[in-house]
Structure 1
């Protein structure tokens, strides 16, 4: 065991993220710009206009494929720079005056960053494999993506009430809408490709303040127990309780010190349950927003804020981490007959006591999967098809 490093700081949040993703690669970190807002009710008309624009590009011959080559960084010279410029002009990402040059600087770098942001890439200005792949997607493929999302927008438009919460899983964003106006706009973290966040709609009925985290057996057996074999005091550092199913089918609290975690019999790991106490260490943060469903997914806060800086935010086991979870929870309870003030809400959180609030009027929630839309600035936004549903 390492010495001098508190285990809880190093390992406590492994539960909701793949082990290999605990440290976000720098290549995933996005600039601190807000996600593009968009009007959900106008998406049908806006996407139809976007399709027309891309069809015009297609009819004019589309764009040339940019050859493969080494990474191009700002300040570099490359014989591919002119091709990049021509490509960005086609989609309006380059706003400067075109002239033949092999030097990658200035307005062209800004154009690449604009393109990267619009396509859900890290806007670092580097022309590497990911950016080149996106630049070289045929215009016909872009049109197909837009048409798929137009069909989704048409279906969604007929279902949206005046007040609702919506999560675009592919866009890694959440909006809370009241009287057809966005009240809260937040980044979210969603499920990995192996643990996909499901797409469905339901109603938010409960807000749990200072929640317990009942660790799913699949996570405790496959991820936490192996860690306990390596770090025997893992449960203590993470404020977790342990119980085990008895012969009568009921669970009873047990001590982790009574077991050799590296030598459990096959299948025995699934007989244990773990529960994390409320507090700043809790993997669910300070609030859990519940809409009972067959998938057992929910919205929640998180103490692990750095993941919200990533351009691609598919790190969870399926539940949805909300950057502005506290704002959303306060919005939901204060708008539910107005029986909570901001002061009362903060006091309840500060107490660190577990408390559940039942909403008198459940709020519809929609989990959707849109990989393209037109934002409030009129820019056509694309996002990676992380679950391969286009």
Structure 2
């Protein structure tokens, strides 16, 4: 059951998200955008103005009565960091308090050295680089996205199968690198949160973002709320089975979606199709997938065969999501979709239609996610901003908490 504090918090986030999506808005416009009463919006805006989160940017003359004030997020209020720990790189991005990107730093992760100490050291390096760039600017919060199953309350990487991590106290290991609250979650939740912050219409939709990278998963939002599940492990679509007794998956099972659609699975399909293909760059996932994409652009038959095989499993796997959740839209996201998306999209639609039921397919949109920069970093920074808003004493949410609280998205 939602408490009054939960409702106030959600209303405040709705106001801030609406201002972010529209650039600036009057209180009357915010009431229309959020569906909240004018009085509720006015109360929330007064608290946000008092704390400096939003600012009055203009006054528009009205035909009659008092001028109308336009409000926007106050980018000068402070700094947010969004950290994307992927399985081959770490990307840190600095955002102002209006969630506008300012700068970024990225470094590779050694694919042969994936111990917690090695990964944490890389994360500390990119955080230090971004902090040095913005020395003296107040840091409101740091959002960190880590692969696999994550406990955002305890700050632990519960299980990252591709790294064989179990119960790694990630937040504690990073605590000495930041002087602000640190929020932890995984890329599936980050992608869904980023989509809602970037596209206000998503708050009224049931949508799924299929994250295609080294790992594969689904960020799911239903009725404006991210689906987390009891243990925050909802969305592990990559470990649903599409081929009984098929390829071995690094989770320990066989025939998982990830084993066919994830980057290592795509490399395996290339090896099976053409073991000596010049498109294969050893175990270098990024170089090989890039080569496949470029060759597919030129009509190379080997590349197109790999794309077709990948699309078939992608479509079959997506059909299970469509049948189960009946979403409005399914989006392909992640770095593999960024490289191969245009080739995967049309072919996957064919297999999706063949395996999904007719009723949930009615009106369904399957499209590419169109990020402005790194969506995972944006989502991580957004749940750091939400955590900051939630922690304001006597603030718009009236729910002061510690940084250990699970993000509200």
TM over 0.5: no
Return the TM-score normalized by structure 2.
0.23
Relative contact order, CA 8 A, sep 6+: which one is greater?
1
